[in-house]
Amino acid sequence: MKFGTESTGLGDTLLLTSVCKYFPNKFTIQLIEEKSNYSILFQNLASVEICKKEEIVSIQNFGAGHYATQKLRNLFGDIADTLDNRPLVLYSDYESEKWAHDYIKDKPNPVIFVPTCSKQWSSVRSMTKEFANFSLERLKKQFKTPIICQSSSNSLDLEGARLSDLDLKKYICLLRMVKTYVGVNTGDEHLATAVGCKTYVFQPQDGNGFVSSEWNYNHPNSEYYNWK
């Protein structure tokens, strides 16, 4: 069985791993060529086929609730509501692990801090600069070392340790090693969840195209806070 998603977003792609983890190496995931770097998300979970967008067989969403659960209903029906719907990423490599270790060794109590999301959702989900600076100061008062991770296509000018457009392999290993994510509800948060991070997610109240029940995980490792 092969399937994929027409979305090119990291979060949407990661939700496919929520299905694959229940049947490891039984599915073929379809990815478009410009997102072939996402292949590593499925290491030890599924084979990957690079294809054209019009060739992708999208997995259907059934019912309401979290998008991962909607996908799981394809295989489990209503039992999907009782299953762990978090994504899973098993990828690792020596060079990336070594880079992550060396990067954080002089940063006590590191925390991955992600204040922005893609341009498509930025007006709804990204932090304002004022709120981002407030959050950074709060982390520092807690003796944390925030590592600001952003895309150069949509970023805030913030003071501190910064990583821009980080290679996905390194990002996976860094998140896994740091173990804590603080930031907005975006693909980075789903990646952090997939590697076992404790996540503290700041998000808007429902509205303007954002429905929290479709994206939020019901798990002790995931905490969500609405900004005013």
For the chain, which residues make up each domain, given as ranges?
2-82, 94-226
| Mean predicted confidence (pLDDT) in 98-122 | 96
Residue 6's pLDDT is what? Answer: 85
Range 94-226: architecture per CATH: 3-Layer(aba) Sandwich (3.40)
Rounded to the nearest angstrom, the gap between the alpha carbon of residue 116 and the centroid of all alpha carbons in its chain is 13
- Give per-residue pLDDT as tens, 159-202: 999 999 999 999 999 999 999 999 999 999 999 999 999 999 99
Q: Do the strands 110-114 and 145-150 form a parallel or antiparallel pair, or are they unpaired?
A: parallel
Amino acid letter for position 55: E
φ, ψ (nearest 5 deg) of residue 14: -65, -30
| Mean predicted confidence (pLDDT) in 15-42 | 96
Q: Is the pLDDT of residue 65 over 90?
A: yes
Q: Which residues of 41-66 are buried (b: 16+ CB within 10 A; e: fewer)?
A: bbeebbebeeeeeeebeebebeeebb
Helix 187-194, helix 10-20: angle, nearest 10: 30
Q: Is the pLDDT of residue 228 over 70?
A: no
| Mean predicted confidence (pLDDT) in 29-56 | 95
Among 134-138, 153-157, 207-211, where is mean pLDDT lowest? 207-211
DSSP state, 110?
E
